[in-house]
Structures are given as C-alpha cells and as structure tokens.
C-alpha cells in the first residue's frame, strides 16, 4: 500500500496512550506544541488503566476487605464468610477504569490533543501510517509499551489466562495454578485467594519476587505459605494438557545449574492456570526500520538520557526502552521527552524508582538493594525496625512487617530502603524523597513523624542507623 504523506507536519506524534504516552502528549501540548496521540484501542490509558495497575488495584482493594474481615474474627468482630457476586465485583472494577479513561479523553480534548485510533507504523523518518491515514511529523515519541510473555507449550484453552484474562474474573476457580512468582503472579494470587480459590504458585527462581531482598519477601512468603495450597520454588512447568476435568500440569525441579532434574512435585490438575512469567517490549511491530530507529533482538529501543533514539527527532519512553517496566517510570520519561522536544535542557536522572508489590503484606523498595550492593561490591550498613515494635502495626493486628534502610557507612547517606507490611507502597514515597534529596539517616531520624502511624517505622529505622532509637533495645557495641 502506498500512503500519500501530507505536506503539513504535526509537531509531535505520540505512539501509544498508556501512562507514558498520554503524559508525554499532555505535557507537549501544555508547552505549546501541536500533538497527535495515536492509540490502537478504543480507550486511552494503555495496559495500566485498562488491564493492569488500576483494575488490579480495585480487585486488591476488595481482597483486602475480605482479609481484614477474616482477621477481625480473631479480634472479637465477626462478619461471616464473604459472599462474592462476580458481576458486582466486575462492575466496581470497570467503573474505576471507565472514570479514568473517560477523564483522559476529556483532558486530551481540553488540551486540543488530537486522538487518532488505529495501529501506527512508521513509513519513513517523518511519516507514519495509521490504518491507511498518513501522518507527517517533526518529532515522534514511541510509547508502545509491552505485552505478556507466554510459554511455548501451553494449550490454546480459555482456562489458560494471562493477567488480562485473570482480571476479567471469568469465575472463581476451585484450583488455580499461577506460573511465575513475580509481582503480577503474586498480586493476582492475592485476589483469587481472597475470592476463595485454592492457589498454587510455581516459580523458577529460588525465591518469590527475584531481585527483591529476601528479608523483605519473608513476611509475605510466611503468610502465603499458610494460606496457599502450594508454593514450588526452583521449579518449572514442563507440560499443561487440557482435558475435560481440568488442566493437567507436570513439573520439574531445577538443579543449581538451571537444568531440569526430572524430579519435582507430583503432576496436578487445576481448573485454571495464570501465566505471569514477565513482559516483552512492543518494539518490533512499529516498522521502526522505515524510520531508521534501531530495535534490539528483544524488542527494546535504546535511548539516551534525554529519551532520544538513534534518530535524533524520534524519542522513546516507558516499557519499550527497558526495565523497570513501571508506569511511574514511563510518565517521568514522557515528561522529559516532551520537554526536550520543546527546547528545554532536561534529562531523566531519577535517583530512585520505587517498586511495589501490592500483595498482602505489600512489599516496596527503592534505591540500592542488599542483593545489588553485594553484587556490585558497594559498602553499606543496614538498619531495620521490626513492625512488632510499632504501636500502630500492633493496633492494626498486622505486626508482620519490617522497615529497613541501607546507609553509606562513611557519609551516612541513605542509599536504599525496603518496607514490607500493610500499606508499604504508600510508605516508600518518603524514602524516595529522602534519596532524591540526598538525605543522611539523621535527616529522617530527626524529622518528626506523626504518632501512631506506620510512617514512624521509617523514622525508627533511621534512629536504628544512628543508634538513637528508644522504641527497641540495641545492645551496646563492644569496644575493640
């Protein structure tokens, strides 16, 4: 198909209307640029708003209500077993999504950002085709996101779901197998466990959420070990066979070298299988070579600190430029790309990008981890405050948490932070600010935290680092 490219160029075309793309488009419009935002789906918001962060948080909110109601039975307050009306649950989740996506459409309109729906493909260095319509541009921002990875041996069967399928909540399966003990797998496990499924998890690595410090994962691992049917670490799935009575799954335990041992858990039958084994970037299907943009073998597009690809007037942001694949990284990169295009001298230079698993308990971490410090030979001290000593955690009936700081022994600068416990995802924001501001541990220790809150645990961890803490007893250091 030959596409006639119009002579009129738009200032900026943004490919993809996820959190990175719509933020870039809106910032560019606010800076006075003419913007076209191209989105293949009917609704704006990308994976995050439509089939990711937001609907999962709506379901996790309900899961939390169930868990708290169950726990309160042991504290003198009983509600009885939860009755789940799946239509009502879906309606609650969909209402949140609809309000946000319609809000985005309204925000685009008010800014005069032109939204074009269809699949965008580059046809030249300054030209795109969107379903037969040509768009010529001065600058482009690629914000095409990522998609769920799959496993080659899975049967084509509706009972095998990815995260999008699982969020549709087709039913509450009696037996659910989650393949992949990363953030997506564990968040969806939290939802289905609360709804009443018997959940099993199979994870290839030797711990859940590989990459997160093991001490932070421990309270979650302990809680779900009691609730879930099984957690198989260092194990892979070797086959899934669809039969009338369920999905027949066989496993293989990995040896330390990574090869299969032929051993492992007995084969089992599940009513549904959720595959959550990571995400792959959407860099390969954009016709990027027509524009001269390099895409690596994985589908990632490399960029510099100003989000520029190898083609100076084409930028890329979000999941398609690399890990971590997180919405809040994408939005900040989107702002940088828009501002650079408008002539501002800025770059993406975040000191800390927080990661959060919205599990029960939540796990959040930012900056340096102990795992990475050891790999890279970075000197550090840890200072941890156990939530069992937090008045608020005890009053909440949830002392299963910990807050720790990593501190530079020489400069006392805060290098990283990790929090496990209810609401950890909100609490980590203070540590992000501390890292961005170059805080030393004493800055956090001397900041007056409101009592009684879980936020105090960060202040107490800093007091542990400074050895000024009074809420726990630290044995005196021996004189040498």
Give the catalytic positions in this structure.
Answer: 451
Contact between 261 and ligand NAD by CB under 6 A: the answer reads: no
**Quick one: 45 or 181, whose CB is closer to ligand NAD?**
181
**Least distance (Å) between residue 60 CB and ligand NAD:** 9
**Looking at 71-79, 92-100, 323-331, 449-457, which segment touches ligand NAD (CB under 6 A)?**
323-331
Relative orientation angle of helices 19-30 and 327-341, to the nearest 10 degrees: 30
- Residue with structure tokens 């309606």? 91
Q: Which of residues 332-361 bind ligand NAD (CB under 6 A)?
A: 356-358
CA dist 50 to 46, 63, 73, 236, 464, Å?
6, 19, 35, 30, 42
Give dist(CA 381, CA 165) in Å, integer. 43
Give dist(CA 27, CA 32) in Å, integer. 9
- Residue with structure tokens 């800014």? 111
Give dist(CA 448, CA 434) in Å, integer. 14
**Looking at 128-136, 177-185, 287-295, 410-418, which segment touches ligand NAD (CB under 6 A)?**
177-185
Q: Which member of 28, 38, 325, 341 binds ligand NAD (CB under 6 A)?
A: 325
Structure token digits, residue 427: 């609490």
Contact between 224 and ligand NAD by CB under 6 A: the answer reads: no
Contact between 463 and ligand NAD by CB under 6 A: the answer reads: no
Contact between 277 and ligand NAD by CB under 6 A: the answer reads: yes
Render the burial of 193-225: b for 16+ CB within 10 Å, e for the rest: bbbebbbbbbbbeebbbeebbeebbbbbbebbe
**Quick one: 331 or 382, whose CB is closer to ligand NAD?**
331
Q: Which of residues 17-46 bind ligand NAD (CB under 6 A)?
A: none
Render the burial of 137-157: b for 16+ CB within 10 Å, e for the rest: bebbbbbbbbbbeeeeebeee
- Bond preceding residue 324 cis, omega within 30 of 0: yes
* Nearest residue to ligand NAD, by Cβ distance, number only: 182
Q: Which member of 31, 100, 151, 230 binds ligand NAD (CB under 6 A)?
A: 151
**Least distance (Å) between residue 357 CB and ligand NAD:** 6
Q: Which member of 97, 204, 291, 461 binds ligand NAD (CB under 6 A)?
A: 204
**Quick one: 364 or 406, whose CB is closer to ligand NAD?**
364
Contact between 145 and ligand NAD by CB under 6 A: the answer reads: no
Contact between 182 and ligand NAD by CB under 6 A: the answer reads: yes
| Rounded CA Rg of the chain | 24
Contact between 139 and ligand NAD by CB under 6 A: the answer reads: no
Binding mask 357-396 for ligand NAD (x = CB under 6 A): xx--------------------------------------
Cβ pair 287, 122 in contact under 8 A: yes
Contact between 293 and ligand NAD by CB under 6 A: the answer reads: no
Contact between 160 and ligand NAD by CB under 6 A: the answer reads: no
Give dist(CA 187, CA 208) in Å, integer. 12
**Least distance (Å) between residue 206 CB and ligand NAD:** 10
Contact between 279 and ligand NAD by CB under 6 A: the answer reads: yes
Cβ pair 420, 363 in contact under 8 A: yes
What is the total count of residues that contact ligand NAD (CB under 6 A)?
Answer: 26
| Beta-strand pair 402-407/414-421 | antiparallel
CA dist 190 to 64, 220, 436, Å?
9, 11, 32
- Residue with structure tokens 């998609």? 147
Cβ pair 314, 291 in contact under 8 A: yes
**Quick one: 44 or 357, whose CB is closer to ligand NAD?**
357
**Least distance (Å) between residue 87 CB and ligand NAD:** 25
Given the rule CB under 6 A, which residues bind ligand NAD? 151, 179-185, 187, 202-205, 210, 236-237, 276-279, 324-326, 356-358
């Amino acid at each position: 198909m030959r596409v006639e490219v119009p002579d009129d160029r738009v200032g900026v075309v943004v490919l993809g209307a996820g959190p990175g793309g719509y933020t870039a488009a809106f910032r560019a419009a606010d800076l006075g640029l003419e913007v076209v935002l191209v989105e293949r789906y009917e609704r704006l918001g990308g994976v995050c708003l439509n089939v990711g962060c937001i609907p999962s948080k709506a379901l996790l909110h309900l899961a939390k209500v169930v868990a708290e109601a169950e726990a309160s039975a042991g504290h003198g307050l009983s509600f009885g077993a939860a009755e789940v009306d799946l239509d009502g649950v879906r309606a609650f989740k969909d209402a949140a999504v609809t309000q946000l996506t319609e809000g985005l459409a309204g925000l685009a309109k008010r800014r005069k950002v032109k939204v074009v729906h269809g699949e965008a493909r580059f046809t030249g260095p300054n030209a795109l085709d969107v379903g037969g319509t040509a768009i010529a541009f001065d600058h482009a921002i690629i914000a095409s996101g990522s998609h769920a990875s799959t496993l080659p041996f899975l049967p084509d069967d509706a009972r095998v779901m990815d995260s999008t399928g699982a969020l549709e909540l087709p039913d509450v399966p009696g037996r659910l197998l989650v393949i992949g003990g990363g953030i997506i797998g564990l968040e969806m496990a939290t939802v289905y466990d609360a709804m009443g499924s018997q959940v099993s998890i199979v994870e290839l690595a030797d711990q859940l959420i590989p990459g997160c410090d093991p001490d932070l994962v421990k309270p979650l691992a302990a809680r779900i070990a009691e609730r879930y049917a099984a957690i198989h670490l260092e194990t892979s799935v070797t086959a899934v066979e669809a039969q009338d009575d369920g999905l027949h799954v066989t496993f293989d335990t990995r040896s330390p070298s990574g090869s299969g041992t032929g051993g492992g858990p007995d084969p089992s039958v599940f009513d549904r299988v959720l595959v959550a084994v990571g995400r792959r970037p959407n860099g390969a299907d954009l016709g990027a070579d027509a524009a001269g943009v390099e895409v690596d073998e994985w589908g990632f597009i490399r960029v510099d600190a100003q989000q520029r690809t190898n083609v100076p007037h084409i930028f890329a942001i979000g999941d398609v430029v690399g890990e971590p694949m997180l919405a809040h990284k994408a939005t900040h990169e989107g702002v940088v790309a828009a501002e650079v295009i408008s002539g501002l001298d800025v770059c993406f230079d975040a000191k800390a990008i927080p990661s959060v698993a919205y599990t029960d308990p939540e796990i959040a971490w930012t900056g340096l981890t102990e795992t990475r410090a050891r790999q890279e030979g970075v000197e550090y001290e840890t200072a941890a405050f156990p939530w069992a000593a937090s008045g608020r955690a005890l009053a909440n009936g949830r002392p299963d948490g910990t807050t720790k700081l990593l501190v530079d022994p020489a400069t006392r600068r805060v290098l990283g932070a990790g929090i496990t416990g209810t609401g950890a995802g909100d609490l980590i924001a203070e540590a992000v600010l501390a890292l961005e501001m170059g805080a030393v541990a004493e800055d956090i220790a001397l900041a007056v935290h409101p009592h009684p809150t879980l936020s105090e645990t960060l202040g107490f961890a800093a007091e542990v680092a400074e050895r000024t803490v009074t809420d726990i007893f630290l044995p005196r250091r021996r004189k040498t």
